[in-house]
Amino acid sequence: MFISGCTGTEVVVGSCGCSLWFCNHVESLGLEIMTIHVISKDAETTRGVRIDVDSVAQLKVQTHLDADGKRSSHKSVDTVSGNAVIDKDAIKMAGQNFLGKDRAEIEEQLKATMEGLQRQILGTLTVEEIYKDRMSFCDAINKLATPALLQMGYELVSYVMTDIDDSNNYMSSLGKTQTALVMREAAEGQARNQNEARKKVAAFKSEADIEVATREREAHVVTNQEAEKRAEADRNLNLKRAQFDTQVNSAVAEAEAAAQIESAKQKQAVVRAETTQRAVEAEVELQIADKEVEREKKLREGKSAAELLAQKNRAEGIRVLAEAEAQKTEMMGNAEAQVGLAEAKAIKAKGEAEAEVLQKKADAYKNYGEAAMVSMVVEKLPVIAESVARPLGNVGKMVVVSNDGSVGSKLTGDIGRMISQLPEVVNGLTGVDITKAMKAIADKTGEESKDTI
């Protein structure tokens, strides 16, 4: 606020002021930022190319000073009082230029000032400079506009170029040229990069192939070495296995041979034991046979003695009867006595002869055990013949077919032949030749009978 009167002009910023209605005049001025669109149509550049430039500028009243008393758009603090340092001179200058005008009028004047300054800067630059380096253009505007605006009591807070164009297609041509250049440079760069990339790729691929070949060669060598070691290990393993198999087979063969030898020994022992058992059994059987023969011999001897005693008794009885008969005959008559005496003597002689024969037979039984056995066998011949012929008794009816009608006689002859084979069977079982023994006994008995006669 500006309070003016007879006592002078007072500037009040951000606080209250007092004015007399009849002697003071009060007017206000806004200190806020104003945004202004600066448009420059057909602005001529340094090469005569006309362009259209749109920009945005933000302006405000210069209100603050630096700590050293210089004007600044930044707020500073008084180190003594702690209050902001107000630039009242700049505010008064803005009041002198724009006091009593509304905001639209102020913005229009500031816009005209900024457009003039913008055209002035555009006239010193080429389109390429403006297009490529907008930051330098903005800095040039700031440098040129700041002192001009300070004379009006304002400061430029910010400035930004928003658009640049032209009606003669210069910018588009420039853009196309630049685009073509950029595209050419991009293509060249891409080609160079691709060439370098291909070179690098080829180099890397070559190095990779060389490395791969080297690694493969080394791997192949290592693989061959490992295969050689594996083959050597397999060979050693096979040799060890062969040795172990040989040892195992040898041990198995030795075990089998030992088992066979042991089995043979066991079999030999069993055969020896069986042979010994059979020998013992045969010995026992022989002893039993000897005992049986001895018993039979004793029985035969007892029987022979009994028969001899019976013969003697019979002979004695005959003799006694003969003597009695002789005495009877003698008593009956001389003739008859003579005859009876002769008959008695004959009977006596016959009895004595029979007794002597029986005695010799008993002696023969005593002296010849084999003969006794033969006698036993001979006595059993009828029983054997009966046993052989007994099955024929069970035959109810027999039909015999024969061409010569001699079947019956052959059957009887077969039974006879079977019985005739008994001596051979007895000889095979007991070792006693019945035929030979009977012949020997018959021969000896005949000689004794001759001697006796």
The CATH number given to whatever domain includes residue 56 is: 3.30.479.30
Give me the tens of pLDDT residue by residue for the chain, a chain 453 residues long: 888 877 777 888 877 878 777 787 788 888 888 999 999 888 888 888 888 889 999 998 888 775 555 555 444 334 334 455 778 888 888 888 888 888 889 889 899 999 998 888 888 888 788 877 888 888 888 888 888 888 888 889 988 888 888 777 776 666 676 677 777 887 787 888 888 888 888 887 888 888 888 888 888 888 888 888 888 888 888 888 888 888 888 888 888 877 788 777 777 777 777 777 666 666 666 667 667 767 777 777 667 666 767 767 776 767 667 676 666 666 665 555 565 566 667 677 776 776 666 566 555 544 555 556 666 666 766 777 677 667 767 766 666 666 666 555 666 677 677 777 777 776 776 666 777 777 776 776 666 656 555
pTM above 0.75, yes or no: no
Q: Which domain holds residue 305?
A: 294-452
Tell me: do 305 and 447 sit in the same domain.
Answer: yes
What pLDDT is stored for residue 72 in this prediction?
52
In-domain check, residue 228: no
In-domain check, residue 24: no
Residues 6+ apart with CB under 8 A from 171: 51, 127, 131, 164, 165
Domain count, the chain: 2
Residues 43 and 119: beta-carbon distance below 8 Å: yes
What pLDDT is stored for residue 251 in this prediction?
81
What pLDDT is stored for residue 79 in this prediction?
36
What pLDDT is stored for residue 124 in this prediction?
86
In-domain check, residue 358: yes
End-of-domain residue from the set 105, 134, 163 = 163
What pLDDT is stored for residue 210 in this prediction?
87
End-of-domain residue from the set 148, 163, 178 = 163
Q: Is 65 helix (H, G, I), strand (E, B) or coil?
A: strand
Nearest to 87 by CA among 110, 67, 105, 108: 67
- CA 253/CA 249 separation, integer angstroms: 6
End-of-domain residue from the set 134, 163, 192 = 163
Nearest to 300 by CA among 355, 354, 357, 379: 379
Residue 4, φ and ψ in degrees, nearest 5: -125, 150
